[in-house]
Each structure stands twice: as C-alpha cells, then as structure tokens.
Chain A
Amino acid sequence: SQTIHQWPATLVQPVGSPLSLECTVEGTSNPNLYWYRQAAGRGLQLLFYSVGIGQISSEVPQNLSASRPQDRQFILSSKKLLLSDSGFYLCAWAPLGAYNEQFFGPGTRLTVL
C-alpha cells in the first residue's frame, strides 16, 4: 500500500530564516506530487505540483520554491521566511494518470515569528 510522509510535523522559525520541508511517498512509482498551504480561514491553496523528476509547476508567485530530486521526493524551500508564510503545509500525491484522486500527508505546522 502507498504511504506518504512529511517532516517535520511542527516547525517554529524566525523571520528571514531558511526553510526546508520534505515529503516522500512509498509504494508507488511516477506519482504526481503537490504542495498545498492551509492558512487560517483560507482553505487549501495549491502552491506547486510536479509530474516528474525536476519538473515543477508553480501556481502562486511567492518566496517559496519546490524541487523534486527523486521520483518520490518533493521538497518545499525558502531562502528567507516571511511572517505570512505561517500556515499548515500539506504534501499530496496522485497516481500516474489519475490526477483527480489526491492523497494527503499528515502536514507540517509552520509558525514564523
């Protein structure tokens, strides 16, 4: 069966510090991978998605970036965090060719102070 992992579970960072959140998927090959952010009262906002290694599509311009160095690894990064980057970050995967079915990881709670 497929499993999706995210870490860390919680993170408190000062403004201006860098960020690296990691997501890995097990039990599937060539998944589509997604990063979402849930900010208070704002639902789930798609940040990035990837259809393959090294292929990243950005949905929202911001100071975040994403990378996919391996088939089942998706990384969300920032060089300098802003207060507005606080939120709950969710990684999700979808089976190859079934983009309408997405399965979410446990999430990372990021607080920028």
Chain B
Amino acid sequence: DQQVKQNSPSLSVQEGRISILNCDYTNSMFDYFLWYKKYPAEGPTFLISISSIKDKNEDGRFTVFLNKSAKHLSLHIVPSQPGDSAVYFCAASAWYSGGGADGLTFGKGTHLIIQP
C-alpha cells in the first residue's frame, strides 16, 4: 500500500518555463513534507520542506504548496533551468503527530527533464 504517490514517472519542460511536480498522500497522520532532488549515481539532496500548519513555502525558484483537504502537494520550479534535470522525490512523515524514528515515507519519484 503506497502512502505517498507520485503518479508521473517523468515530466518534460522547456527551459525557462514552470515545472510542476505533484505528490499525493493517503495517510492523514502525515504532517511534514519534503522534496528531495537526486542526480544519477548520487544520494538525494534535500530541497525544500513544508509543515502542515502552512500551505506554501518558498525558497528562491522553488515553492511547495500543500492542500491538506486534498492530501496533495506540489513543487513549482520557476524558471526551470537545465541543472534542474533530475529525479525528484516527495517524502512525508508524521513528525508532529508523534511519528517514530523510522521517519520518512518516500514516493517513487518523478524524472524531470528540462529541454533547451
């Protein structure tokens, strides 16, 4: 049973345009969400996070939106650059709800391809 779902295995976006990556979750106990970026043959790197008390968090070109009623979050990258081409993982935890040390539940990832 997949509790964090990224339904788009890949996404192709033109350089300079907006990239929107989507993530859905089913566990209503999740209250902290993260996005990681991963290049081939490297470990994931933390990108941006959001807690359930917010509906938006912005960091430079990256903005994460959270819709708790829909159990949906999205990552917006504006403008998209060639270096953004990578696999993006959505992750969730029940941090404020007293989740355990096992921590994060990851989605399967979306491969973002930025075309020149």
Contacts and interface: CB of A to CB of B under 8 A. Distances in A.
Contacts of B95: 99-100
A104 B43 contact: yes
A43 B44 contact: no
A4 B42 CA distance: 12
Interface of B is mostly: loop
Given A49-B101, A94-B103, A42 B108 contact: yes
Given A43-B109, A44-B89, A32 B45 contact: no
A57 B100 CA distance: 11
Interface of A is mostly: strand
B99 A44 contact: no
B100 A99 contact: yes
B1 interface: no
A94 B103 CA distance: 9
B102 interface: yes
B104 A102 contact: yes
Interface in A48-100: 49, 51, 57, 59, 88, 90, 92, 94, 99-100
B41 interface: yes
Interface of A: 4, 6, 32, 34, 41-44, 46, 49, 51, 57, 59, 88, 90, 92, 94, 99-107, 109
Given A94-B103, A100-B93, 17 more contacts: A43-B106, A44-B89, A46-B102, A46-B103, A49-B103, A57-B102, A90-B44, A94-B101, A99-B101, A100-B34, A100-B49, A102-B46, A104-B44, A104-B45, A106-B42, A107-B42, A109-B41
